[in-house]
């Protein structure tokens, strides 16, 4: 009885992109036990950034707690802002017996696509209370060009 019903339930699950029955959940788990894990962190990057645009200026704010400005490199490559750096483990704390370490250490690199060409020579960066703020004026000469339709 259920054997004939399962294919139709599975089709509904695939159409709605969510499980319609416990059998779907089990089938998904056994076919790929850890398949959902990469999707959990798909849109998460380090450092966390906010990108905004107002009055022809793009502002990027990146959270970099515990990092010195000298340990961060900022470049613009192919209309992409690239943040590279390293968060170092404090030497004086190495003698402690840790029960848990959840803070991340090591090198990082984050690419942030920009909404258009920017004037790289006028870019400015400021570091305040663990937040890196980068202001990038948009290049008006390189703004989107309107294409007229013939005919």
Q: What is the mean pLDDT of residues 138-148?
A: 73
Domain span including residue 127: 49-141
Q: Are residues 57 and 124 in the same domain?
A: yes
115 & 92 share domain: yes
Given a cut of 80, whether residue 75 has pLDDT beyond it is yes
Is 70 exceeded by the pLDDT of residue 116? yes
Question: What pLDDT, on a 0 to 100 scale, did the predictor assign at position 1?
Answer: 46
Residues 83 and 18 in one domain: no
User: Structurally, how many domains does the chain consist of?
Assistant: 2
The predicted-structure confidence for 1-53, as pLDDT tens digits, reads as follows 444 555 565 566 666 666 656 666 666 666 666 655 555 544 557 889 999 99
Is 31 part of a structural domain of the chain?
yes
Mean pLDDT value across residues 118-140: 92
> Is 149 within the bounds of a domain?
no
- Residue 24's alpha-carbon distances to 1, 32, 35, 63, 139, in angstroms, are 17, 12, 14, 40, 51
- The helix/strand/coil state of 132 is strand
């Amino acid at each position: 009885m259920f054997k004939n019903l399962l294919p139709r339930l599975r089709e509904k699950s695939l159409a709605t992109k969510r499980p319609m029955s416990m059998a779907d959940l089990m089938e998904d788990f056994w076919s790929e036990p850890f398949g959902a894990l990469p999707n959990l962190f798909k849109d998460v990057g380090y450092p966390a950034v906010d990108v905004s645009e107002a009055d022809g200026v793009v502002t990027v704010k990146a959270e970099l707690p515990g990092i010195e400005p000298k340990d961060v490199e900022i470049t613009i490559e192919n209309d992409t802002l690239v943040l590279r750096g390293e968060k170092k483990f404090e030497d004086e704390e190495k003698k402690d017996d840790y029960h848990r370490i959840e803070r991340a250490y090591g090198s990082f690199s984050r690419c942030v696509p920009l909404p258009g060409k920017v004037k790289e020579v006028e870019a400015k960066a400021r570091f305040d209370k663990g937040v890196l703020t980068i202001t990038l004026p948009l290049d008006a000469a390189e703004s989107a060009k309107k294409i007229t339709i013939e005919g």
